[in-house]
Structure 1
Amino acid sequence: MEFECLDIPPASPVMAAYKDDEQFINTYFDYKPDDTGYRERLSELDGREFDRDGLCNAVRAFMEPLGISERTAVHLEELRSGAPVVIGGQQAGILTGPLYSVNKALSVILEAKRLREALGRPVVPVFWIAGEDHDLAEINHVNVISGCRTEKKQFPMVPGLKTTASATRFDKDLMSGFIREVFRSYGETAHTAGLLQTAEECLEGNETFTAFFAALINRLLGEEGLLLMDAADPAIRQLERNHFAAMIRRSEEIAQGTAETEQRFSEDGFGRPVGAEPDAANLFYVEDGERFLLSRKDGRFVNEQAGISFTERELLDIAESEPERLSNNVVTRPVMQDLVFPVLGFVGGPGEIAYWALLRPAFRALGINMPVVIPRSSFTFVTRRAAGLLGETGLDARAVLGGAAASKREELLARIHDHGAEEEIDRLEAQLAEGYAGLAGKLEGKGRGLPALAGLNLEYHSRQFDWLKDRIRESVMLEHETALSRFDLLEAELLPEGGFQERKYTPFQFMNEYGPGLFRDLLRAAPDRAGIHLLVRI
């Protein structure tokens, strides 16, 4: 395994500002992502109270069926005894979903390890799973390389299903067959059978998206002591009762502050990542596993489409007696996370950091500061096949990530295109059109519809000329198919559909080539700096 740190331009204006503009950080965040910021945040956390026993008991209960490693047990006790956490999270995709889920977990582990050494005290890595999310279309598929392109393989589900990831059960045999189909697309290697067995073992007793995801992440990274929790866990909900009540009482302040900040954010040229509304409640009501977003109207909390309406007192009673019937949205989830966990640093991707920039008023409404916000790292894996293609095309991976494969393909097409033949066809077509124009003139007045008939005959010949051009192009493409396919396959490997691997392929795509220890080895050898993009040759 070899590493190269790539100087990739920031993914968005927000990330460029977060990286280079101190005023941007001072405007939208509470702490700079540096040692001073961490120490200031640590001082704030030391002055706050958390239900550490309840939290650790809930996390342990969630993880025990998955298996608790020795390091995980140590981290649980450190959290119980006063350690802060570095935290990040993601939705529960099949086979862990796209690589960025694991990239976040790796970034959390690396930053917690770095801060443990820098601060001289325990710092615990935590990964929360967005089990309360109900957009199943975002997590019910896997992308694979098929030929020279990316192919989406979708797990069959009931259309229109809106239950949360933690409440949605799937047919185990159907999922097993789906996973086997995905692995057939990966191709057979010395590691395939073992990885498939791992996936099958993680299916046992874990027949919701959240449970299956948690089992896989724990199998991959459990030895690193990564703590896992489900944001929809009823035990966690019990810890959130008083915090839900505070959010209900402060709902108007949270909504107005977020909307005003987003307005300024937009005026500063960064867009509207949330679409915040002043009348939003920023909470969901859960019924039969389905979430309904609430708004505030005439002093009530409502979802008019679903016919749901509560007074503030009724919603406060639900928070106290049935907190599992409430759920956070994109605005209140980060705040709830910070109220339940002693968060030293939050690891997020570009999209998350964009909407976190709006949330300082929401944190302040609950009497707390935002944690340090840490850009996650990215990893692009160069397989043996990709390395071979780089050698054959004379490109390097950095250039491909910048779009060079597509450019080189277009250059090759321009060189091999038979312009001479097409120009001769165009000349013949022009001559024919001129001749038909003369013919149509002579047919004027000779018979009803004869000029139009000549025009139709010309159209027929024009279609034949187009057909001939297409056949010539196909013949040229076929003759140079191997050379052209190298560029297509190189893009499918390194820049699928114009985006980074991490947004398309699962970790199993690359473990199938390297082996099950890919990410453990990466953790031991990778630099522990946050927010970098590493090229990893495997």
Structure 2
Amino acid sequence: MPNHSLQYIKTGYFSKLICDYLAEKELLKPFYNRFPNLENFKHQLQEKQKNVTDDKRHLLAKRILFQYGDNPLSQATLSNIDLLKEKTTFTITTGHQLNLFTGPLYFLYKIYSTINLSEKLNSEYKTNHFVPVYWMATEDHDFEEINYFNLFGKKVSWGKNVSGAVGEITTEGLREVEKQLRKEFGESENAKKLISYFSKAYTKHKNLADATRYLANTLFQNHGLVIVDGNDPALKKCFIPYAEKELTENLSFKKVTETTKKLTDLGFSEQVHPREINLFYLKENLRERIIEQEGRFYINETALAFSKEEILKELHENPQRFSPNALLRPLYQEVILPNLCYIGGGGELAYWFQLKDYFNKVDVPFPILLLRNSVLLVPKILSGKLKKLNVSIESLFLQQHKLMTKHTREISTIEIDFSRQKEFLQKQFKDLYNIAKQTDVSFIGAVGAQEKKQLNGLDTLEKRLLKAQKRNLSNELDRLKTIQNELFPNQSLQERKLNFSEFYLEYGEDLMNILKENLDPLDLKFTVLEL
């Protein structure tokens, strides 16, 4: 089975919004700036260039270098950080939660999409430079979303009671997870490398942000990846004017609500619900919503409260205590970075579509939105089994009951499709209708009822025959079901369920090289890779 791709719409796993966007449907054009193609990046950088000051560039480079601390930096990454100071340098950005040991497979696909697009643009626009950026979601507070990953059908979990921003969570307790992984991974060279990655990341660093930075830097530093933590006091100073508008004018709530209504009127779903104030108040072990009532600002679930003057004073004196939520984080990112393109999954891009009018209102260029690469990894042993069964990889994207029915019909030596019989029956009844019209029109209803009864009878016979054939062919169908379950765990996309370590154990660095070489971020198709 050669490596190939298929249209996202044919997978059945992507929303109408995303499929319409990829098809460049006219009705969605008001909700984004430019479509992701090479030519549009030239116009995007011209627009963005006017929006980024030299001071901001130098501050960004300085703070990123500070954030890396004593992490060993490759020459490629060091060079990219330094190049951020130049007017001709721009970023290509993806963001991701601080999932334990990268979480689901698509973490890798996000990063390689970002790296490969940066390289493609560096090749196309020689007078500019493009830097791949991973924006760590250090200010998220939903620990239950990130404290585990799936391995060999089981959950590897980090049990801990925490509150506040996840980036500040201590790594205490992860030695126990390391012990569990040593048993699961075994003693192979690839297993030892994985344990080394985990141990150095999570037992040698004090908090989850530092651990994640180390791990991502270790996996991707040779490709010049630059990692940014937005939870930085100096960077948040740049966001003060926007946070002030948020507190005093509820600007994002007004504009995003208007845009969301336009989207829902077109039949699309609301991805994120805007609040009157889309900021959290952030302190040690605390990240809670800011709620305004009758001119006072309350911190949810606490006794903290501020007058308007007090909260604005707090914002200017301690900007690090104000944390953008999912709707405001994209704006913060675009204010901080000389960014041209955001690469994300379908759910992420869906809430970006709600933001276009808001970005226009605050006069910040809206980035190009690019769906990250999606991949199905197919081990050769499974592709060999599929060939023997004469089943295409596209068929595996079907719901399991539809796949079983399709394959039964294809391999059955008995004709299961009664379409010809139904067509013949309908022709006979057509003659009966003519007779009824010529004799007594009161018979027409009786003829119709008889036709429906006999067609239903054929449907029942067809279903019974199909069921009988499924029993007769159960051995082959069970083999096919096993393959689909392995490639689509829990009837979901592999990339959303499995961790990279399962494949790294088998293929080692070859896995990373295959992804780097085969993911084309501008291809805009679902990728199938044989390993």
Please give the range of the TM-score, normalised by the shorter of the 2 chains.
Answer: 0.7 to 0.9
Task: Give SS of 1:191's match.
Answer: helix
1:454-477 Cα offsets, whole Å, 9 max, x none, are xxxxxxxxxxxxxxxxxxxxxx99
Aligned equivalent of 1:501: 494
Q: Find the aligned partners of 1:361 and 1:140 in 2 and give their Cα distance.
A: 35
Instruction: Give the secondary-structure state (helix, strand or coil) at the position aligned to 2:250.
Output: helix
Number of residue pairs matched by the alignment: 465
- TM-score after normalising by structure 2: 0.80
Equivalent position to 1:255, from 253, 256, 262: 253
Alpha-carbon shift at residue 209 of structure 1 (Å): 2.7
**Stretch moving more, 85-94 or 13-22:** 13-22
Indicate the residue corresponding to 1:156 in structure 2. 159
Q: 1:356 aligns with which of 348, 352, 355?
A: 352
- Map of 1:176 onto structure 2: 178
What's the counterpart of residue 512 of structure 1?
505
Residue in 2 that maps onto 1:19:
22
Change (3 A) 1:305 1:200: closer
Aligned-residue offset at 1:124 = 0.9
Question: Equivalents in 1 of 2:359, 2:223: separation in Å?
Answer: 31
Question: Which letter maps to 1:507?
Answer: F
8 Å contact from structure 2 (residues 149, 157) kept in 1: yes
Q: In 1, Cα distance between the equivalents of 2:477 and 2:188? A: 27
Are residues 134 and 485 of structure 1, via their aligned partners in 2, closer, same or farther at CA, if it must alter by over 3 Å?
A: farther
Whole-angstrom CA distance in 2 between matches of 1:166 and 1:503: 22
Change (3 A) 1:98 1:254: same
Amino acid across the alignment from 1:537: E
Report if the CA contact (8 A) 1:172-1:207 is conserved.
no
- Counterpart contact for 1:376–1:530, Cα < 8 Å: no
TM-score, length of structure 1 as denominator length: 0.79
What is the distance in 2 between the residues matched to 1:58 and 1:8?
39
Q: Deviations over 1:269-328 (max 9, x none)?
A: 001111224xx1100001323211123332333345434432332222222221221101
List aligned pairs for 1:85-104, cutoff 5 A: 85-104=91-110
Aligned to 2:49: 46
**Is the 1:409–1:487 contact (alpha carbons within 8 Å) kept by the matching residues of 2?**
no
Contact 1:14–1:354 at 8 Å: present in 2 too? yes
> In structure 2, what is the equivalent of residue 296 of structure 1?
292
Cα separation, 2, equivalents of 1:400 and 1:331: 35
1:318 partnered with 2:314? yes
> Is this contact kept in 1: 2:377–2:528, CA < 8 A?
yes
Q: Distance in 2 between matches of 1:107 and 1:213?
A: 19
Q: What corresponds to 2:144 in structure 1?
A: 137
1:154-211 deviation line (CA, Å, top 9, x unaligned)? 22222xx332211111324223124335535xxx655222222232222342243332
Kindly provide the CA deviation profile for residues 115-144 of structure 1, in whole angstroms up to 9, marking residues without a partner as x: 222233211110111010011111111112
Give 2:430's aligned residue.
none
Any residues of structure 2 matched to 1:217-366 within 5 Å, and which?
217-249=216-248, 251-277=249-275, 280-366=276-362
Residue 378 of structure 1 contacts residue 531 of structure 1 at CA under 8 Å; is this kept in 2? no
Amino acid at match of 1:102: L
Please list the CA deviations of residues 190-245 of structure 1 after superposition, one character each: whole Å capped at 9, or x if unmatched.
Answer: 52222222322223422433322222211111100010012324453344444433
Over aligned residue pairs, what C-alpha RMSD do you find?
2.9
1:9 aligns with 2:9: yes
- Equivalence for 1:454: none
Paired residues of 1:54 and 1:239 also in contact (CA < 8 A) = no
- Going from structure 1 to structure 2, the CA distance change for 1:536 and 1:292 (only over 3 Å counts) comes to same
Q: CA deviation at 1:481?
A: 9.4
Distance 2:34 2:338 in 1: 15
What is the CA distance between 1:97 and its match in structure 2?
Answer: 0.7
After superposition, where does 1:120-135 map in structure 2 within 5 Å? 120=126, 121-135=128-142
Question: In the superposition, relative to structure 1, how do residues 80 and 489 fare at CA in structure 2: closer, same or farther (>3 Å)?
Answer: farther
Give 3-state SS (helix, strand or coil) of 2:326's partner. coil
Say if 1:205 and 1:242 are closer, same or farther in 2 by CA, change over 3 A.
farther
Amino acid at match of 1:126: V
- Indicate how the Cα distance of structure 1 residues 349 and 512 shifts in structure 2: closer, same or farther if over 3 A, else same: same
- Does 1:59 find its partner at 2:64? yes
Structure 2, unaligned runs of 5 or more: 413-469
- Specify the alignment match of 2:441 in structure 1: none
Aligned identity (percent) is 23
Aligned to 2:416: none
Query: Residues 492 and 209 of structure 1: is their aligned pair in 2 closer, same or farther, counting only changes over 3 Å?
Result: farther
Rounded to whole Å, the distance in 1 between the matches of 2:166 and 2:254 is: 30
